[in-house]
Amino acid sequence: MPSRDRLAATFIALALVFGSALYLLYADYQRFLDGPLAGPADGLVLEVKPGMGVGDIARELQKRPGLSRPAPYLEAHVRLNGLASRLQAGEYAIGPRTTPRELIGQIASGRVIQHALSVVEGWTFKQLRQALASHPNIVQTLGEASDAEIMARLGRSGQHPEGRFFPDTYHFPTGTTDEAFLRRALAAMDRQLEAAWSRRAPDAPLDDAYQALILASIVEKETGLPEERPAIAGVFARRLRKGMLLQTDPTVIYGLGAAFDGNLRRRDLAADGPYNTYTRKGLPPTPIALPGAGALAAAVNPAPGDALYFVANGTGGHDFSATLAEHNQAVRRYLSRPKN
């Protein structure tokens, strides 16, 4: 009997030791999951590449200064919670207070870092392509493809690309392709143009939504003041109704392309071409820039009035005139202003 008692006591002691060890291990495990990874104060980026598992992620963390943590704990958390098959590739932000539990949650839900590219109102398609090509987080797939080839890849064979992409700030993960970005901006412009056209004024002198897009692009290039856009559109709308020449410099400049050196000359205004609205009536054949929502709204709902002319007033805006005599006076006032 005494030996049995000793055996039982030994068993109980071992069980207590084992239980205590398990408790301490579990407590350490929980502290690990909910304790900050203690990275640098400004945070860092963890890249999870396609095919990486939790073991790979743990080893990647251990390479980072200050982030060395028990890999078995991380693997246990992932497997106990059935997260192994949900880990997603991408870039993940590790802040100074990010915990392992939070990090795995980010990776399992795909909350990757979102990069940004702002497409500016008034850009040309050429400028948009340049911005895409220079963005470090966009994968280049279009290369030297022509504009026509790009539109064909986007399912718009035969369409001119100018004006077709909505200017906005777009957020996207690393690995987004230039083609995918353009598809998104193209779809956004489709929605914006459809919405604007559905709200057009009954007397808008436009045959279809594409003409609205063309006029909006001219309005976009003519003024940087949002409050002026309806008035600018009103001038062009009245000129279209009267069969007058639009006589807008931005269309001529667009037609000159690389030949424009920053100085628009009389000979440029006299040289006939599809985009010269000093020699040809009506709208040019395509948009000349990427118009924003404000310019689209102005094009389909131009401001009423009798102005047929406008000229820069030297303060960032324009003076509007109903007659050529008034316009000429406004031009003289502008020319007589002292130049800085």
- Domains with residue ranges and CATH for the chain: 29-109 (3.30.1490.480), 115-192 (no CATH), 201-336 (no CATH)
pLDDT at 177: 97
DSSP secondary structure string for all residues of 314-338: SSSSEEEESSHHHHHHHHHHHHHSP
304-311: list long-range contacts, CB under 8 Å, 24+ apart.
Answer: 304/234, 305/231, 305/234, 305/238, 306/238, 307/231, 307/234, 307/235, 307/238, 308/235, 308/238, 308/239, 308/242, 308/244, 309/235, 310/231, 310/232, 310/235
The structure tokens listed for 56 are 């790979």
Amino acid at 324: L
Q: What is the pLDDT of residue 338?
A: 65
> pLDDT tens, position by position, for the chain (340 residues)?
457 767 666 777 677 767 777 778 788 888 888 888 877 778 889 999 999 999 999 888 888 766 656 778 888 999 999 999 999 999 999 888 889 999 999 999 999 999 999 999 999 999 999 999 999 999 999 999 999 999 999 999 999 999 999 999 999 999 999 999 999 999 999 999 999 999 999 999 999 999 999 999 999 999 999 999 999 999 999 999 999 999 999 999 999 999 999 999 999 999 999 999 999 999 999 999 999 999 999 999 999 999 999 998 888 899 999 999 999 998 888 777 766 5
Nearest of 178, 112, 173 to residue 139 by alpha carbon? 178
End-to-end CA, the chain: 110
3-state secondary structure (DSSP) of residue 108 = helix
Contact status, residue 138 vs residue 175, Cβ threshold 8 Å: no
Q: Whole-angstrom Cα distance, residue 241 to residue 221?
A: 21
- Reported in sequence order, the residue ranges of 80-200 that DSSP labels E, i.e. its strands, are 90-94, 115-118, 138-139, 169-172, 176-177
pLDDT, position 196: 98
**Model pTM?**
0.85
Strands 90-94 and 44-48, bridge-based pairing: antiparallel
Using CA atoms, how far apart are residues 309 and 247, in angstroms rounded to an integer?
10
Q: Return the ∠ at Cα 194 (arms to 188 and 195), rounded to 5°.
A: 90
Q: What is the pLDDT of residue 230?
A: 97
Structure tokens at 26: 């579990």
How far CA 277 is from CA of 198, 212, 240, 255, in Å, comes to 27, 16, 11, 10
Q: What are phi and psi of 232, to 5 degrees?
A: -60, -45
DSSP label at residue 234: H
Q: What is the pLDDT of residue 20?
A: 74
